[in-house]
Amino acid sequence: MSTKKRSLVATKVYGFNPWMDQLVAINQIMESTGRRSEAPVIRDLIDEALTARRRKTSEVESAKHPPREQEVTGTLQAVQELLLRLIEQGETSVRAQSISLELLQEIAAEARACRAGLWEAVAVPALRQAGKDEGQIAGSFDRHTNDGKHFAYSLAEQIRNEILAEETTDNRNGVDDRQGSLNYDQPNVALAENAQVN
């Protein structure tokens, strides 16, 4: 290594006994470079060792503290992956809900068709024999329908109240349950009352 604009420190001398392999290596360097003194060779070797140590320390520090841009890029990639997973899960959930809705519609349609068929086959002839006219028969059918709706909505409201009571208890006890509450529309009671009058 060159000693450009570097000054020797005359007041400090390092004295040490080299290892045998170090002595052999220094002698080989002196022979290959043509130097007659060990001091310049040892100074060059110390420069090389210090440069290597600074490089190694710098690499370790870089590994410990990655550049800010790499941190931001890594964070953005992680957020992007999470969002893509959430979108995929959301699409799967929508498809499952769509299938569930179709099945519920099929069940509701089949139940309505069976009920109407039984009504026509069993109840209507008996009501006609009892002297009921078509309006009274239709009103009776609607009244039974509204009674069923009222029962279903009352049961759903009871279940909802139980869930809300459990959530309130859990919140008081520090349990964080993020399940949404259920909301149900009330059945058309006015229509049921009109049917009962008929």
Sign of CA dihedral 86, 88, 89, 95: positive
Token couple for 79: 């957020």
Q: What is the Cα–Cα distance from 193 to 147, expressed in whole angstroms?
A: 10
195 & 152 share domain = yes
Tell me the residue range of the domain where 30 lies. Answer: 20-64
The domain boundary, picked from 110, 130, 150, lies at 130
Same domain, 126 and 140: no
On whether both 52 and 36 belong to a single domain, the answer is: yes
The answer to whether position 31 is within a domain reads yes
Q: What pTM, to 2 d.p., does this model score? A: 0.38
Asked whether the predicted pLDDT for residue 1 surpasses 70, the reply is: no
Are residues 71 and 49 part of one domain? no
Residue 11 forms part of a structural domain: no
Domain assignment present for residue 7? The answer is no
Picking from 130, 158, 179, the residue at the C-terminal end of a domain is 130
Residues 45 and 83 in one domain: no
In a domain, 102, yes or no: yes
Is 72 within a domain? yes
Number of domains in the chain: 3
Can you tell me the distance from the alpha carbon of 155 to that of 149, in angstroms, rounded to the nearest whole number? 10
> Residue ranges of the alpha helices (H) in the chain?
20-33, 38-64, 68-118, 124-129, 134-172, 189-197
**Helix, strand and coil in the chain, % to nearest 5:** 75, 0, 25
Asked whether residue 150 falls in the same domain as residue 189, the answer is yes
Residues 139 and 195 in one domain: yes
Whether residue 126 is found in the same domain as residue 137: no
For the stretch 166-194, pLDDT in tens is 888 877 766 555 444 445 455 554 554 55
Do 143 and 108 reside in the same domain of the chain?
no
Q: What is the pLDDT of residues 121-153, one digit of tens each?
A: 888 888 888 888 888 888 888 888 888 888 988
Residue that terminates a domain, selected from 85, 104, 130:
130
User: Rounded to an integer, what distance in angstroms lies between the CA atom of residue 99 and that of residue 93?
Assistant: 10
The CA distance from 23 to 41, in Å, is 11
Residues 25 and 76 in one domain: no
pLDDT digits (tens, 9 = 90+) for 23-59: 888 888 888 888 888 888 888 888 888 899 888 888 7
